[in-house]
Chains A and B, each alone.
Chain A
Amino acid sequence: MRRDRLHALAIVTTALLTAACASSEEWTTWKEHPSHFASGEHLAFSLRNRSGAPARVTREDIALARSQGWWGKPITVSTEQILEK
């Protein structure tokens, strides 16, 4: 009985330590590789003209693409729940 309890405790402890380490590692990954979270590239990259040179994307192009409602109406907290006008 005592051995079973110790065994269970060891399993729980190991699981907790593993979870903690994983969380720490994930955080470190984020800190060390911020470019992994590069933003907006999918709005601009791979656009090429006929000569093969990278095409330039203006801010208006990006705004237009967003205005098409590409992602649909999101589920999110309303501003009215946070702020009053």
Chain B
Amino acid sequence: MRSRLLAGAAAVALPLLFTLAGGVGRAVAAPADRALLPLDQYTSEKGRELGRKYAEELRALASGIYHCIPWLEVQEHSLGFYRPKHLGGGDSRYLSMRVFIEQEASPDFARLTVANQAAAMYARYVAALLKRMARSPALTADPGVEGFTIILEWLKQSVRAASDRPIHETVAVFIDKASALDFLAGRIAPRAFADRADIRLWDGETSLENLRLTRLAEDDFVSTYKMKNYQLDPSVTCP
């Protein structure tokens, strides 16, 4: 109910906000600049070098998502060559990205278990984002890039007091580069890809058990959904 109320309130307030803001909206910082992990924040020269070498590819990736999948928000400084913590020693660098998914409050979605919600988000976004992340042949051929991390989060739909902070549910998908490229080339099926991936799940700050996908829905939402009234920047072409 709270989510519905918030969504309803947003429906009323946001258009007003747009109207009042007028041209101020043009002052929002360029998305790519905010999305990229700054070079001085890398903790190893390997990571920093990858960040420097593929800065343009990362900017193009961030910009493409920003304009073409406008209901997704690449989180600030989340796009870069991070090292997955669970891999332990060494300096394995994965091209990583953390994305917030804006979506309508939905009773149908809320009725799914947290694991099935995560599976639904996985089915909807992981392949679509991985395809974009692996678009550069030079990047995917670079031996310094060992895999991909996609972190998806969305607003948990739950009844809460107005004073309560919102809670996000989060799923993180780690996949080694060879498996990712096999999947994108159609050499392995989605089921095999999911089996090879390390998929982790959080409810707020609480880690849940590693997610084993028992069902894999086919979902072409990202390529078919058109947001109502959305005006694409004329200088942008979406695939």
Contact = CB atoms under 8 A, between A and B. Distances in A.
Contacts of B122: none
A29 B219 CA distance: 13
Contact of B116 (A23, A46, A47): A23
Contact of A42 (B14, B80, B98, B202): B14
Contact of A59 (B11, B66, B101): B66
Interface residues of B, number: 77
Contacts of B6: 71
A82 interface: yes
B229 A55 contact: yes
Given A41-B104, A74-B166, A76-B153, 11 more contacts: A27-B217, A30-B116, A31-B218, A39-B104, A44-B228, A44-B229, A47-B18, A63-B28, A64-B18, A65-B14, A74-B165
Contact of A83 (B13, B83, B106): B83
Contacts of B109: 30, 36-37
B14 A43 contact: yes
Contacts of B205: 75-78
Contacts of A27: 112, 116, 215, 217
A42 B7 contact: yes
Contacts of A42: 7, 10-11, 14, 104
A45 B42 CA distance: 40
B103 A37 contact: yes
A6 B42 CA distance: 64
B29 to A, nearest CB: 9
Nearest to A43: B14
A58 B233 contact: yes
B165 A75 contact: yes
B200 to A, nearest CB: 8
A85 B21 CA distance: 36
A51 interface: no
B31 A74 contact: no
Contacts of B113: 23
Contacts of A38: 103-104, 225
Nearest to A68: B17
B174 to A, nearest CB: 9
A65 B106 CA distance: 21
Interface in B1-32: 6-7, 10-11, 13-15, 17-19, 21, 24-26, 28, 31
A79 B41 contact: no
A82 B155 contact: no
A72 interface: yes
